[in-house]
Chains A and B, each alone.
Chain A
């Protein structure tokens, strides 16, 4: 019988090991046939938004950009939702970062700790917090 793992992700930005670990763990759980909920809380909410391209002159070198691009998780996160993962942000922590109005990645949903997180817990067999 399949189980559902809920991950609370509290870290999130490019080059962040916690976020990378969370995404890889979620993928492994899905590939095993189990369910995954990810609640993007605190800095984790930064991962729910679509990247906003910048056309101006950037001080980031090509080498650094190439390095950082390897850690951008947007496509992997959209891949998780396409495979059935439920991923929601905490709008309060988005509000505190001024990103409440940003468009979400495909499949990522607006959420809150009072409703969304509790709804996740209703179907949760295992809960894991990832962050520092």
Chain B
């Protein structure tokens, strides 16, 4: 039985995988009760800019319900963003932090 899970999202808003990852993470958190961490990297970082509608709303609910939202520092710097560009509650993490998260969690799913 899994108790904790990372959900990695690498796709930008507009790609179905970005929604599928977020929806899975929220379901695992809210219905499954798992300690759930979303990890955004590559073009997935664009999901965290305050996208209106379904993505932004679901991200807000995910954070309100206790889910963690992380973004990889390298990926935001490569795209010219900084921490202040993202919605409240997003934690900027380094590669080493993600390595630790993957090691510590029971499972990691990628989207």
Interface residues of A (CB under 8 A from B): 8, 10, 41-43, 92-93, 96, 112-115, 117-118, 121-124, 126-127, 129, 131
Q: Which residues of A contact B27 (CB under 8 A)?
A: 112-114, 117-118
Alpha-carbon gap, A81 to B106, bound state (A)? 26
Which among B30, B34, B106, B109 is the interface contact of A8 at CB below 8 angstroms? B109
Q: Which residues of B contact A124 (CB under 8 A)?
A: 1-2, 107
Alpha-carbon gap, A113 to B26, bound state (A)? 9
Interface residues of B (CB under 8 A from A): 1-2, 5, 16-17, 20, 23-24, 27-28, 30-32, 34, 106-111
Alpha-carbon gap, A122 to B32, bound state (A)? 9
Whether the pair B23, A92 counts as a contact (CB closer than 8 A) is yes
Whether the pair B34, A121 counts as a contact (CB closer than 8 A) is yes
Alpha-carbon gap, A115 to B5, bound state (A)? 16
Closest-by-CB residue of B relative to A44 is: B20
Whether the pair A41, B107 counts as a contact (CB closer than 8 A) is no
Distance from A97 Cβ to chain B, minimum over Cβ atoms (Å) = 10
Closest-by-CB residue of B relative to A132 is: B17
Q: Which residues of A contact B34 (CB under 8 A)?
A: 121
Q: Which of B2, B106, B110 has the most CB of A within 10 A?
A: B2
Alpha-carbon gap, A131 to B108, bound state (A)? 14
Distance from B36 Cβ to chain A, minimum over Cβ atoms (Å) = 11
Which among B16, B31, B108, B111 is the interface contact of A118 at CB below 8 angstroms? B31
Whether the pair A127, B20 counts as a contact (CB closer than 8 A) is no
Whether the pair A118, B28 counts as a contact (CB closer than 8 A) is yes
Closest-by-CB residue of A relative to B108 is: A127
Whether the pair A117, B2 counts as a contact (CB closer than 8 A) is no
List 15 other contacts, CB 8 Å, given A113-B27, A122-B1.
A8-B109, A10-B111, A42-B16, A92-B23, A93-B20, A112-B27, A117-B24, A117-B32, A118-B31, A121-B2, A121-B5, A121-B28, A124-B2, A126-B107, A129-B111
Whether the pair A41, B31 counts as a contact (CB closer than 8 A) is no
Which among B1, B17, B31 is the interface contact of A10 at CB below 8 angstroms? B17
Alpha-carbon gap, A114 to B111, bound state (A)? 17
Distance from B78 Cβ to chain A, minimum over Cβ atoms (Å) = 21
Whether the pair B5, A127 counts as a contact (CB closer than 8 A) is yes
